[in-house]
C-alpha cells in the first residue's frame, strides 16, 4: 500500500461488509424485477427480457461455469459483442470470485494470445460470429483448455476447428439457478482488461469488485441516472467494461439496451432503436456519434432526444457535432475523461450554474469541449517535470496524476511499472490545465511534449499558434534531442504555396503564449506531414526522422 493510513477508534460498522458486484444485480433483480434488458440477437432481430429473467440466467451461467471447474481466482475470457450473454457473464463470472478477461477482438492474434496467456485464462467463451478470431487465437493461447461457443443454433450446425468445443446454451438448459453466489473479499479482481499498448506489450489492469462498485455508484450519481433511464451500451464491453456503464445502469435499475454486433452501415438501426426504446444515455467515441448525426440530418422527422446524454470519450468531440446534436435533436454530448487504468471515470463535463451568466455562447461551447470536472472520489493533481505540484489556475500546464478507489496502483505481474506511478498516484501521460472553476483541459500527451532545460513545452499549443497564420496549412512541433537542453522544439510546417514564412513572424505568433526560451530555434518547411493509419499526426516517425537535427540547429 503506497499510503500511510492513520487508525482511529474501531467503528461498529465492522471491518468489511464487502462491496461485491453481485449485490448490484441481485438488488436490481429483486427490487425492479420488471425492468427490461433489450438486446439484439445474432440474427439481427431485437428481443427483450426482464431483470428477473436475466438474474435467473446469471445464476444458471454461474452454475455452468462452476461445473466446468471455474473457481475463485480463475480467469475466464469472453469474445463477444455487446450481447445479452456477454451481459449475463458480466455478473456470473465475477459472482464466483473468478476474473472476467475482457478480450479485445480487434487485437492481432499474437497480441490477444499474449493477453490470454499472461492472464492465465484457461476457459474462453466465444460468440459464434467470432469463432474465426478464436481459431486464429488458439495457437497463441495454449493455456486455454476449455472453449465454449455461444449461439442460438445447435452445436451440430456449428463448424469450427477449435478442439472439444462445448455449447453454452446446451449447458444452460440443464443448469438450475439454485446457487448461492458467495460473498467475495472486495479487493479481489472482478475483471481484467489490457491496455492497447502502443508502446511495448499490453499491460494488465485488474479491476477489483470494490473499484467497480464504487465507480458504478459515482457514475450513477454524477450522471443522475435512475429507473426512468434507458442506457444503450455502444462502447465495447470487451474493453474498459464499456466505461463502467453496465454496472452504473444496473445500480440505477435503468433499462439496458444492448446493440450486439452492428456494422458501420447500420447507424440507422442505432438511431431507430434509440427512438423506439427512448434511450436517455448512450456511450461512444465521436467517431461513432458523427455518422449518427449525419444520418439524423437526412431524416425528415428529427428525433426528440432532449433527455439523451451522449457520453463521449477517447478524443475531444468536434464543436460542430456537439452543436449539431443539440440543434437537431436536443441531445447533449457529454465529454468525459478516463483511461483503462481508471475504470475509467475521472472527469466529466457539465455546466455550472455559476457560469451561466458570465460566459458567452462561444465560451460555453468551448468549455463543454474540455474534459470537465473531477468526479467525487478521484483526486487529481498537476505536476511539473520535477513532480512538483502546479496551481489550478487555468494557466499552469502539467502532467495529470490521478488516485482514488478505482484507480490502479500497479499493473498486473510486470516488474517495471514504477515510472507510471508517483507516490501512489497514477501518471496519466496526459498534460493539461485545471482552471479556477475546476475544469480540466488536456493540452497534450506527455510523450509529445518537449522537455527542455527541466521544463515542458506543449507541442499542441505551439502547433495551434503556428496554424493560426493564414498561409499555414498544418504544423507539427516535435522534440529533438539536444546535448545541453535535453530536448529542443522543432517546428515542421506545411504552407499553402510552399513558401517559407520569416522566423520572426512565427515567433511573433508565439510570443503571447510562450516564453522566449521556449520558441523553436528553427522551422523546417515540408510538403506534407506523415499520418498514422487512423489519421493522427505520426510524431513517432517525425521524431525518428529529425532525431539528429539538434546538432544542426544549435
Binding to a copy of itself (CB under 8 A) within 387-426 occurs at: 392, 403-412
Which residues share a beta bridge with 467? Answer: none
User: What is the separation, in whole angstroms, between the first and last Cα of the chain?
Assistant: 46
Q: Give CA–CA dist 57/248, Å, rounded.
A: 20
Q: Which residue, 3 or 527, is less far from a copy of itself as judged by CB?
A: 3
Q: Which residue, 97 or 321, is less far from a copy of itself as judged by CB?
A: 97
| Span interacting with a copy of itself, options 108-116, 207-215, 289-297, 473-481, rule CB under 8 A | 207-215
Residues between 324 and 383 that touch a copy of itself (CB under 8 A): 350, 352-354, 373-374, 376-377, 379
Q: Does 194 bind a copy of itself (CB under 8 A)?
A: no
Kindly state the cell numbers that stand for 225: 441516472
Candidates 54, 58, 64, 75: give the one binding a copy of itself (CB under 8 A). 75
| Span interacting with a copy of itself, options 205-213, 313-321, 476-484, 497-505, rule CB under 8 A | 205-213
Q: Which residue, 64 or 121, is less far from a copy of itself as judged by CB?
A: 121
The least distance separating a copy of itself from the CB of residue 424, rounded to whole angstroms, comes to: 8
Q: Does 196 bind a copy of itself (CB under 8 A)?
A: no
Annotated active-site residue in 22, 146, 195, 222: 195
Annotated active-site residue in 23, 50, 451, 503: 451
Q: Does 54 bind a copy of itself (CB under 8 A)?
A: no
Residues between 80 and 109 that touch a copy of itself (CB under 8 A): 97-99
Reply yes or no on whether 195 is catalytic.
yes
Q: Which residue, 19 or 288, is less far from a copy of itself as judged by CB?
A: 19
Reply yes or no on whether 500 is catalytic.
no
Q: Which residue, 23 or 545, is less far from a copy of itself as judged by CB?
A: 23
Q: Give CA–CA dist 313/296, Å, rounded.
A: 21
Q: Give CA–CA dist 146/168, Å, rounded.
A: 12
Kindly state the cell numbers that stand for 361: 455562447
Reply yes or no on whether 340 is catalytic.
no
Which residues share a beta bridge with 258? Answer: 39
Interface mask (CB under 8 A) for a copy of itself, residues 161-190, using x and -? Answer: ---------------------xxxx-xxxx
Q: State the DSSP code for 484.
A: T
Kindly state the cell numbers that stand for 369: 469541449
Q: Does 441 bind a copy of itself (CB under 8 A)?
A: no
CA distances (Å), origin 27, targets 36, 52, 58, 122, 251: 14, 10, 13, 31, 8
| Span interacting with a copy of itself, options 54-62, 208-216, 483-491, 495-503, rule CB under 8 A | 208-216
Kindly state the cell numbers that stand for 383: 505536476
Annotated active-site residue in 88, 128, 186, 341: 341
CA distances (Å), origin 457, targets 505, 520, 554: 20, 10, 18
Contact between 109 and 79 (Cβ < 8 Å): no
Annotated active-site residue in 63, 456, 487, 495: 456
Q: Does 117 bind a copy of itself (CB under 8 A)?
A: no
Reply yes or no on whether 341 is catalytic.
yes
| Span interacting with a copy of itself, options 70-78, 137-145, 469-477, 544-552, rule CB under 8 A | 70-78
Which residues share a beta bridge with 100? Answer: 76, 191
Residues between 240 and 299 that touch a copy of itself (CB under 8 A): 251-253
Q: Give CA–CA dist 46/273, Å, rounded.
A: 9
Candidates 87, 206, 289, 514: give the one binding a copy of itself (CB under 8 A). 206
The least distance separating a copy of itself from the CB of residue 7, rounded to whole angstroms, comes to: 5
Kindly state the cell numbers that stand for 75: 480467469
The least distance separating a copy of itself from the CB of residue 352, rounded to whole angstroms, comes to: 7
Q: Which residue, 190 or 305, is less far from a copy of itself as judged by CB?
A: 190
Q: Give CA–CA dist 318/315, Å, rounded.
A: 9
Q: Which residue, 6 or 263, is less far from a copy of itself as judged by CB?
A: 6
Q: Which residue, 138 or 311, is less far from a copy of itself as judged by CB?
A: 311
Q: Give CA–CA dist 261/243, Å, rounded.
A: 18
Site size with a copy of itself, rule: CB under 8 A: 87
Q: Which residue, 424 or 530, is less far from a copy of itself as judged by CB?
A: 424
Instruction: Label the pairing between strands 398-403 and 425-434.
Output: antiparallel
Residues between 460 and 499 that touch a copy of itself (CB under 8 A): none
Which residues share a beta bridge with 99? Answer: 75
Candidates 47, 152, 226, 389: give the one binding a copy of itself (CB under 8 A). 226
Hey, how many other C-beta atoms are within 10 angstroms of the C-beta on 419?
7
CA nearest neighbour of 318 among 338, 356, 296, 289: 289
The least distance separating a copy of itself from the CB of residue 171, rounded to whole angstroms, comes to: 22
The least distance separating a copy of itself from the CB of residue 517, rounded to whole angstroms, comes to: 32
The least distance separating a copy of itself from the CB of residue 144, rounded to whole angstroms, comes to: 17
Q: Give CA–CA dist 58/467, Å, rounded.
A: 55
Find the angle CA(344)-CA(350)-CA(355) to the nearest 5 degrees: 145
CA nearest neighbour of 311 among 279, 342, 340: 279
**CB-based contacts of 171, cutoff 8 Å, min separation 6:** 64, 67, 68, 148
Length of the chain: 554
Task: Please identify which residue in the block is written with the cell numbers 450513477.
Answer: 220
**Enzyme catalytic residues:** 195, 341, 451, 456
Amino acid at each position: 500500500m503506497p499510503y500511510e493510513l492513520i487508525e482511529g477508534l474501531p467503528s461498529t460498522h465492522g471491518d468489511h461488509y464487502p462491496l461485491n458486484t453481485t449485490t448490484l444485480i441481485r438488488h436490481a433483480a429483486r427490487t425492479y424485477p420488471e425492468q427490461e434488458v433489450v438486446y439484439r440477437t445474432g440474427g439481427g432481430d431485437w428481443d427483450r427480457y426482464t431483470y428477473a429473467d436475466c438474474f435467473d440466467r446469471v445464476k444458471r451461467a454461474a452454475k455452468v461455469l462452476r461445473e466446468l471447474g471455474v473457481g475463485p481466482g480463475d480467469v475466464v475470457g469472453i469474445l463477444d459483442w455487446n450481447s445479452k450473454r456477454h451481459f449475463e457473464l458480466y455478473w456470473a463470472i465475477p459472482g464466483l470470485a473468478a476474473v472476467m478477461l475482457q478480450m479485445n477482438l480487434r487485437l492481432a492474434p499474437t497480441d490477444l494470445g499474449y493477453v490470454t496467456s499472461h492472464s492465465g485464462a484457461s476457459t474462453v467463451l466465444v460468440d459464434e460470429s467470432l469463432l474465426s478470431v478464436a481459431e486464429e487465437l488458439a495457437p497463441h493461447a495454449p493455456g486455454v483448455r476449455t472453449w465454449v461457443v455461444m449461439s442460438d443454433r445447435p452445436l451440430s450446425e456449428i463448424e469450427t476447428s477449435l478442439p472439444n468445443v462445448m455449447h453454452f446454451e446446451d449447458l444452460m438448459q440443464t443448469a438450475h439457478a439454485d446457487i448461492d453466489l458467495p460473498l467475495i473479499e472486495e479487493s479481489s479482481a472482478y475483471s481484467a482488461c489490457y491496455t492497447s499498448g502502443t508502446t511495448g506489450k499490453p499491460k494488465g489492469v485488474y479491476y477489483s469488485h470494490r473499484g467497480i462498485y464504487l465507480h458504478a455508484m459515482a457514475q450513477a450519481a454524477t450522471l443522475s441516472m435512475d429507473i426512468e433511464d434507458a442506457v444503450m451500451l455502444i462502447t465495447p464491453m470487451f474493453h474498459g467494461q464499456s466505461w463502467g456503464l453496465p454496472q452504473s445502469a444496473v445500480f440505477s435499475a435503468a433499462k439496458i439496451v444492448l446493440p450486439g454486433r452492428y456494422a458501420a452501415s447500420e447507424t440507422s438501426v442505432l438511431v431507430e432503436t434509440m427512438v423506439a426504446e427512448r434511450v436517455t444515455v448512450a456511450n461512444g467515441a465521436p467517431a461513432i456519434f458523427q455518422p449518427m448525426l449525419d444520418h439524423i440530418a437526412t431524416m425528415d422527422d428529427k428525433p426528440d432526444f432532449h433527455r439523451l446524454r451522449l457520453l463521449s470519450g477517447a478524443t475531444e468531440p468536434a464543436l460542430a457535432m456537439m452543436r449539431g446534436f443539440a440543434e437537431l435533436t436536443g441531445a447533449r454530448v457529454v465529454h468525459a475523461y478516463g483511461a483503462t487504468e481508471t475504470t475509467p471515470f475521472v472527469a466529466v463535463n457539465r455546466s455550472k450554474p455559476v457560469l451561466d451568466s458570465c460566459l458567452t455562447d462561444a465560451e460555453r461551447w468551448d468549455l463543454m469541449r474540455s474534459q470537465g470536472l473531477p468526479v467525487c472520489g478521484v483526486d487529481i493533481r498537476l505536476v511539473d517535470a520535477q513532480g512538483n505540484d502546479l496551481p489550478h489556475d487555468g494557466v499552469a500546464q502539467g502532467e495529470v496524476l490521478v488516485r482514488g478507489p478505482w484507480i490502479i496502483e500497479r499493473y498486473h505481474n510486470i516488474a517495471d511499472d514504477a515510472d507510471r506511478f508517483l507516490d501512489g498516484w497514477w501518471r496519466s501521460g496526459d498534460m493539461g490545465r485545471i482552471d479556477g472553476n475546476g475544469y480540466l483541459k488536456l493540452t497534450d500527451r506527455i510523450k509529445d511534449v518537449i522537455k527542455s532545460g527541466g521544463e515542458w513545452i506543449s507541442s499542441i499549443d505551439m502547433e495551434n499558434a503556428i496554424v493560426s497564420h493564414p498561409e499555414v496549412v498544418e504544423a507539427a512541433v516535435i522534440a529533438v534531442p539536444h546535448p545541453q537542453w535535453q530536448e529542443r522544439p522543432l517546428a515542421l510546417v506545411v504552407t499553402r504555396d510552399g513558401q517559407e514564412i520569416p522566423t520572426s513572424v512565427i515567433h511573433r505568433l508565439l510570443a503571447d503564449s510562450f516564453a522566449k526560451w521556449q520558441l523553436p530555434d528553427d522551422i523546417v518547411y515540408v510538403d506534407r506531414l506523415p499520418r498514422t493509419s487512423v489519421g493522427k499526426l505520426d510524431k513517432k516517425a517525425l521524431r525518428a526522422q529529425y532525431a539528429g537535427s539538434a546538432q544542426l540547429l544549435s
